């Protein structure tokens, strides 16, 4: 079993502990350690891909990796090189080591890194959700200030949400752009500077996180008075719930569309009880929900990793 993630990943820690308890051999590595403390030897012949990955304490035989749990590895970095050489080295590492990790024979990926990349594009996720049969709030992706103002005028209560959320350092502290309600008067010509996502705000009574692990679906209602519950976990309460009719089949249709076997779905629960799709994170966090509810999510993930692909 291969686990690809950063050094500090408590979610991966609990999965690895579960696998160790089942006597499953595990090699953990961070692709960002390449090549300083991670080396690669891969040969491609008429018999396929063979070789090994070596960490300071473990060796992974590439031909015998049965499953790969791809979590959140750090990025490649070559600080000892000048900018141009570092850019070259990063691309070679990405397409070399990254390409090998994405090409393991007879391997179950949870999830495949290329499928994660596809699913992380929010427009693709929203289009796939509509195709799968979920309810979606009216959504606009635009770089036009006039289009944004017209959308807000038409729908009234509208939120802005980043299409991707890079980390900003504000006074040395990591910060991100938050989901926020916007008015027509908030729209300036600066909107023309890049792409933005605007969405009609669903009058909600709660949120739901539905975590899909293989064939298992774990649905947890999250109650708070927050627009975005992720901004203050201390104000949340959790309740295990059943999905309304039609949700489970739609979840699996969405997953099949992207080739995923794990997904963390977020829904807003409307005043009429209907679930409105917000997003699916193919690498989303989940273990804190097991701690809060007692649902056997770690065991389900270990079961999935032990499954024959």
pLDDT 10s digits, 245-264: 999 999 999 999 999 999 99
pLDDT at 174: 73
Is the pLDDT score of 308 beyond 70?
Answer: no
CA distance 235 to 222: 10
**What are the counts of helices (DSSP H) followed by strands (DSSP E) for the chain?**
8, 18
**Could you say which DSSP state residue 32 is in?**
G
Predicted confidence (pLDDT) per residue in 213-235, tens digit = 999 999 999 999 999 998 899 99
CA atoms within 13 A on the CB side of 80: 2
| Nearest-angstrom CA–CA distance, 102 and 107 | 9
Contact criterion met (CB below 8 Å) for 59 and 51? no
Dihedral (Cα; 94, 305, 14, 96), 10-degree rounding: -10
Separation of alpha carbons 97 and 91, rounded Å? 10
Mean pLDDT over 63-77 rounds to 94
Per-residue pLDDT, averaged over 259-284, amounts to 97
Average confidence score pLDDT of the chain:
94
> 156-188 b/e with 16+ CB inside 10 Å = b?
eebbbbeeeeeeeeeeeeeeeeebeebeeeebe
Q: Residue 309: which pLDDT band, with cuts at 50, 70 and 90?
A: low
How large a percentage of the chain has pLDDT more than 70?
Answer: 99
Mean pLDDT of all residues in 158-167: 89
Which domains are present in the chain?
2-110 (3.40.50), 118-122+204-301 (3.30.470.20), 138-200 (3.30.1490)
Note the residue count of the chain. 309
CA 30 – CA 32 distance, rounded (Å): 5
Q: What is the pLDDT of residues 83-125, one digit of tens each?
A: 999 999 999 999 999 999 999 999 999 999 999 999 999 999 9
Residue labelled with tokens 């990405």: 94
């Amino acid at each position: 079993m291969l686990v690809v993630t950063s050094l500090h990943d408590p979610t991966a820690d609990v999965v690895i502990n579960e696998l160790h308890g089942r006597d499953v051999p595990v090699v953990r590595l961070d692709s960002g350690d390449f090549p300083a403390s991670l080396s690669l030897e891969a040969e491609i012949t008429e018999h396929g891909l063979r070789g090994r990955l070596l960490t300071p304490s473990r060796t992974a035989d590439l031909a015998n990796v049965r499953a790969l749990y791809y979590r959140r590895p750090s990025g490649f970095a070559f600080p000892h090189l000048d900018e141009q050489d570092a850019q070259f080295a990063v691309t070679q590492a990405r397409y070399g080591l990254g390409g090998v990790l994405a090409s393991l024979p007879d391997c179950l990926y949870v999830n495949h890194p290329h499928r994660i990349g596809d699913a992380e594009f929010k427009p693709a996720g929203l289009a796939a959700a509509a195709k799968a049969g979920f309810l979606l709030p009216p959504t606009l992706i635009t770089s036009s200030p006039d289009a944004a103002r017209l959308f807000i005028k038409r729908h009234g209560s509208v939120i802005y949400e980043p299409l991707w959320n890079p980390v900003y350092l504000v006074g040395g502290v990591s910060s991100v752009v938050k989901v926020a309600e916007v008015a027509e008067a908030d729209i300036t010509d600066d909107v023309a500077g890049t792409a933005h996502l605007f969405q009609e705000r669903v009058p909600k009574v709660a949120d739901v996180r539905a975590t899909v692990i293989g064939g298992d679906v774990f649905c947890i209602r999250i109650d708070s008075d927050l627009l975005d519950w992720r901004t203050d976990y201390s104000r949340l309460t959790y309740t295990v719930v059943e999905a309304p009719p039609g949700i489970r089949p739609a979840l699996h249709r969405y997953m099949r569309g992207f080739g995923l076997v794990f997904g963390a779905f977020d829904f807003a629960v409307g005043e009429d009880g209907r679930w409105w799709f917000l997003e699916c994170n193919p690498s989303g966090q989940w273990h804190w929900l097991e701690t809060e509810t007692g649902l056997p999510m770690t065991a389900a993930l270990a079961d999935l990793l032990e499954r024959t692909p």
